[in-house]
Structure 1
């Protein structure tokens, strides 16, 4: 039986609408060795089809939030539910298989072709498990490469792909498990301007073509947000400073509060711009 087809549907709330794909309730995380507070009383939920930006200065707790939702770590206090399952009451290995993750620091074989890298998304492994990939799985990998507009990279070693090409291949890999939730941890890291714009276009098309897919994108730059991003969460020193629709959250006042310096924000044709609000000497 196809493991994707066999998965249970997302839980639904009492009004019949889909329940959240991820929900944090009063979550705190403290470093065991030092007692340092990394997250403090964070409550947040993400529903199917929503696209969130997760913003904050270095050390704000963004990566820890992704690790919680990705079922990599557990909270010190509070509850985390992902795809209807509460952490601590579910086999996290099975849960991780249903969550797509894209990060520039992911370990994949540089010698493997792009098609092989995508195939490993079906097994969640660094090296391919050839016995697990039947004709249908191989065809799915090819279709995902085509969907991400990198079909011509199928036989190219991953290590010689450009940064932007690697990012799209990794997104195709993350989609192999048909996840309900896609986590993107600074996917634009080290990309040049054309590669960044190509990836933004890719994310916009992906949102349009997969209406039930929810995404969370961690970034430092508003310019990297696609027009599909409809919600934002601002973190500062482990606490939520603002969350909600982008028009209400990505304002100069809220961004200035989050980053601790004057920030000016503008929006043009669905794209965001931000710069320092400080006045430079003549």
Structure 2
């Protein structure tokens, strides 16, 4: 079991941020988490990564039970890609050095990387389609290229779990589709990590995401196999408004239904 949450709650100032969340992710599954702003997605991710401890319930990540394990060690086994990380990185550093900094979980590369690590960094950038940019300064990259550098950085430790937190934020439609193709290719590789993809757009949920979790107001609205979760009836209830949902080439296209 990669993630096993049983009636987990996070309470701050007497208010529930997450309430009675039960969710399990098995090895070999790839999940999408769908939720609007304020649904609790960020809190859930911070908890899985060991930055927030549950107020109630039981949580295991990668077989490690919270409260019985050093969460600093757990974080070394989780790759996390977030747009917020982009702002913290040094723009003058090369893509290769930024990827290598992930090996040491540092902002900036302050330790000597051996030849094996450098080869791995180059190979990861190559596999993500930007190997030719390995020596270029990060600040010269497009938003989509920066996201692929961050994915390579997250993969440098060969983590069994990779979390992609709204990676398409700020991308135009062409850059978004290019990044989604990169993620799909990654999922289809042998020995790919379990991937959790977080979004608020149904059209970003690729056919390779076998399961989907709908999170609303800090609670699980629905979870399970993607085809059974992303139905029009279920999504109308989830969004609390009439919507139409059409499946096109394995992707879910959502539109608001305006009443006459």
**Deviations 1:118-158 (CA, angstroms, capped at 9, x unpaired):** 00111110011232x11101111001001111101101111
Instruction: String of CA shifts for 1:49-88, please: whole Å, max 9, x gaps.
Output: 2111111121111111111111111100001111110112
The corresponding residue for 2:187 is: 207
Q: 2:170 maps to what in 1?
A: 190
Matched with 1:10 is none
Aligned to 1:231: 211
The equivalent residue for 1:115 is 96
Q: Distance in 2 between matches of 1:40 and 1:211?
A: 34
Task: State the distance in 1 between where 2:93 and 2:28 align.
Answer: 32
Residues 186 and 192 of structure 2 are in contact (CA less than 8 Å); yes or no, is this contact kept in structure 1? Answer: no
The alignment status of 1:245 with 2:225, answered yes or no, reads yes
**Equivalent residue for 1:54, pick from 33, 45, 65:** 33
Q: CA deviation at 1:210?
A: 3.7
Is the contact made by 1:201 and 1:226 (CA closer than 8 Å) also made in structure 2?
A: no
Task: Report Cα offsets for 1:188-215 as digits up to 9, x if no partner.
Answer: 0000111101111011100110445211
- Contact kept, 8 Å, 2:202 with 2:252, in 1: the verdict is yes
> Which residue in 1 is equivalent to 2:150?
170
What residue ranges of structure 2 are gaps of 5+ in the alignment? none
State the alpha-carbon separation in 2 of the partners of residues 84 and 245 from structure 1. Answer: 22
- Secondary structure at 2:151's aligned position in 1? helix
User: Is 1:27 aligned to residue 8 of structure 2?
Assistant: yes
What do residues 1-60 of structure 1 show as CA deviations (whole Å, max 9, x unaligned)?
Answer: xxxxxxxxxxxxxxxxxxx111111100111xx211111100001112211111112111
1:152 and 1:116 mapped to 2: Cα distance?
Answer: 14
Alignment RMSD (CA, Å): 1.1
Q: Secondary structure at the match of 2:170?
A: coil
Aligned to 2:22: 43
Q: Which residue of 2 aligns with 1:269?
A: 249
Q: Which runs of 4+ in 1 moved over 3 A?
A: none
Matched residues in 2 for 1:254 and 1:108: separation?
40
Q: Give distance in 2, aligned partners of 1:167 and 1:114.
A: 11
How far apart are the structure 1 equivalents of 2:181 and 2:115? 30
SS of aligned partner of 1:201: helix
How far did residue 278 of structure 1 move?
Answer: 2.3
TM norm structure 1: 0.89
Measure the CA separation in 2 of the matches of 1:90 and 1:28.
Answer: 19
Q: How many aligned positions are there?
A: 258
